[in-house]
């Protein structure tokens, strides 16, 4: 893409200034560059009178106009333009005078350059136009100037985000609104095949998502990984539930599957997003998962564990107990697996099914949106653990309408977020990982065993069952904070 950018920049230059010949570097040509950089008009005149061309390039491919633009000296910029400086020259680093002015937020210089023929829709070496740069960085005066002079919202390289996409994560919706008003395509895809609606979901912007849908955004459009906006909204920890609810209400396919078989409710289970699991279940989400795989068993266990809490909140004791028993069965299968021979075991790495939510953030969406502060797997786990509290609170709020204040027993970060060792890793490393997973699910299994004991002691339900289950849940929360296993009831 770097070479393509250079080629396109060269073609643009040839088309816009076919008669402009840029001389090769002369021995004393640095004088005019220094004069332009320092604002020395007399020095510029002296250099020009000595025969140095106004478009002379230095060892960095920069012209005097570029140095004057970088310095923010609009008087020198105008002076050089009057002397015939080329406003569309591209330096070795892919920058042009207009792109430099835009990045610096200098509307006066940007206007001077445009008036003298600077290409408003030209690309930098990164594949972005001046409008895209401004939509991301922000400068209303420069932004409006570019639109006024014909900047096109949808101009972009293949597999590059558009100006509309870059405007979405901003706190101020001014840029997004203006672009949409100017005819930006709400369905044009960018990096990784993501749509503006997917970017809005990942950026936690329900108000932007609603505007996109009103503008005609296709709600079930998939990116290159086969993921929809709803899947992101359901599967990324910390995303406002309003986004998923909006998408579902507007007709998003609640059971739409990604290329890897991931559905919104499965993604919510992977994220430990209890409130979202319950919401999607009530809206008709299906949970058909093959439990032959490690992640399949964990997903089934998580789903049924959450449903156990859900049915208990509805005072549906039969379905609650059945769900808890199913969850415990899946947890025990995982425990048996990881307490066995781990020498021949293999695990999927990043990009595989188990790490799909994290993969969705770091790969097709990109570090510039949600992963800006996620540097390591450890940071991810810390962040998601903190966000898990929001999920539990969301579930608690959701079930209040049943007027049965049970405390949810499901807690903790799913082990699917923990990067497994490589398949050629030392056996000791594999054993350590297996032991940690077995211990994790032993805790979960014991929690459910304690809950089932509450059912046995209080078969008719009522306040006795509520008191018993709440004691288990509160003890679990306390022991989780201390990193201790739950005691047997």
Q: Tell which residue, 249, 267, 248, 247, has the closest CA to residue 257.
A: 267
Q: Tell which residue, 208, 149, 209, 142, has the closest CA to residue 182.
A: 149
160 and 128 Cβ atoms separated by less than 8 Å: yes
Model pTM score: 0.77
Say how far apart CA 332 and CA 326 lie, in whole Å.
10
- Report helix angle 74-82 to 107-115, nearest 10: 10
pLDDT band at 386 (very low <50, low <70, confident <90, very high): very low
How many beta carbons lie within 10 A of that of residue 305, not counting itself?
28
What percentage of the chain exceeds 90 in pLDDT? Answer: 52
pLDDT band at 434 (very low <50, low <70, confident <90, very high): confident
29 and 35 Cβ atoms separated by less than 8 Å: no
Q: Six-digit token pair at 367?
A: 């570090």
Res. 83: pLDDT tops 70: yes
Higher pLDDT, 392 or 167: 167
Say how far apart CA 408 and CA 152 lie, in whole Å.
51
Helices (H), 400-426: none
Say how far apart CA 403 and CA 278 lie, in whole Å.
16
pLDDT for 180 equals 97
Q: Tell which residue, 20, 77, 84, has the closest CA to residue 48.
A: 84
Res. 167: pLDDT tops 90: yes
Higher pLDDT, 105 or 398: 105
Say how far apart CA 477 and CA 135 lie, in whole Å.
44
Say how far apart CA 17 and CA 34 lie, in whole Å.
25
Q: Does domain 216-489 have CATH number 1.10.3720.10?
A: no
Q: Which helix (H) or strand (E) holds 313?
A: helix 294-313
How many beta carbons lie within 10 A of that of residue 488, not counting itself?
8
pLDDT band at 155 (very low <50, low <70, confident <90, very high): confident
Q: Positive or negative CA dihedral for 369, 370, 372, 377?
A: negative
Res. 331: pLDDT tops 70: yes
> Long-range contact list for 20-27, CB < 8 A, 24+ apart?
20/55, 20/86, 22/53, 22/55, 22/56, 22/57, 22/63, 22/86, 22/89, 23/53, 23/55, 23/56, 23/57, 24/57, 25/56, 25/57, 25/58, 25/59, 26/52, 26/56
Ordered by start, the domain boundaries in the chain are 216-489
pLDDT for 416 equals 52
Question: How far, rounded to the nearest angstrom, does the alpha carbon of residue 450 sit from its chain's CA centroid?
Answer: 39
Q: Tell which residue, 56, 131, 124, has the closest CA to residue 93.
A: 124
């Amino acid at each position: 893409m770097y070479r393509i950018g250079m080629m396109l920049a060269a073609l643009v230059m040839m088309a816009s200034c076919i008669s402009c010949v840029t001389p090769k570097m002369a021995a004393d040509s640095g004088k005019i560059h220094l004069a332009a950089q320092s604002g020395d008009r007399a020095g510029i005149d002296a250099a020009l009178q000595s025969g140095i061309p106004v478009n002379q390039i230095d060892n960095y491919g920069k012209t005097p106009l570029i140095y004057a633009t970088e310095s923010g000296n609009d008087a020198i910029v105008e002076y050089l333009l009057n002397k015939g400086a080329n406003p569309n020259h591209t330096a070795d680093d892919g920058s042009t005078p207009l792109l430099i002015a835009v990045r610096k937020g200098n509307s006066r210089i940007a206007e001077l350059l445009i008036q003298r023929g600077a290409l408003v829709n030209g690309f930098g070496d990164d594949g972005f136009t001046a409008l895209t740069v401004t939509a991301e960085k922000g400068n209303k005066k420069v932004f409006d100037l570019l639109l006024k002079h014909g900047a096109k919202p949808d101009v972009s390289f293949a597999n590059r985000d558009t100006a509309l996409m870059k405007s979405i994560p901003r706190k101020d919706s001014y840029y997004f609104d203006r672009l949409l008003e100017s005819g930006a395509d709400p369905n044009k895809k960018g990096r990784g095949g993501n749509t503006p609606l997917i970017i809005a979901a990942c950026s936690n912007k329900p108000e932007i998502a609603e505007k996109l849908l009103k503008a005609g955004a296709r709600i079930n459009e998939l990116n290159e990984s086969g993921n929809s906006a709803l899947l992101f909204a359901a599967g990324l920890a910390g995303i406002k539930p309003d986004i998923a609810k909006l998408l579902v209400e507007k007709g998003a396919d609640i059971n739409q599957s990604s290329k890897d078989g991931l559905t919104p409710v499965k993604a919510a289970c992977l994220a430990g997003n209890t409130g979202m699991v319950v919401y999607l279940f009530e809206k008709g989400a299906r949970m058909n998962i093959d439990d032959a795989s490690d992640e399949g068993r964990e997903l089934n266990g998580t789903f049924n564990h959450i449903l156990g809490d859900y049915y208990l909140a509805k005072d549906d004791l039969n379905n609650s107990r059945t769900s808890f028993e199913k969850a415990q069965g899946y947890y025990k299968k995982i425990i048996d697996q990881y307490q066995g021979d781990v020498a021949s075991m293999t695990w999927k790495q990043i990009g595989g099914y188990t790490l799909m939510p994290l993969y969705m953030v770091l790969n097709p969406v990109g570090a510039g949106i949600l992963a800006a502060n996620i540097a390591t797997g450890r940071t991810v786990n810390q962040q998601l653990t903190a966000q898990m509290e929001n999920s539990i609170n969301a579930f608690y709020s959701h079930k209040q309408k049943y007027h049965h204040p049970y405390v949810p027993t499901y807690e903790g970060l799913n082990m699917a977020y923990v990067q497994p060792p490589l398949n050629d890793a030392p056996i000791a490393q594999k054993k350590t990982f297996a032991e940690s997973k077995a211990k994790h699910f032993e805790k979960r299994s014991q929690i459910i065993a304690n809950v089932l004991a509450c059912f046995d002691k209080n078969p008719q339900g009522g306040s006795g069952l509520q008191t018993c289950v709440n004691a288990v849940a509160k003890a679990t929360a306390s022991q989780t904070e201390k990193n201790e296993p739950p005691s047997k009831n």
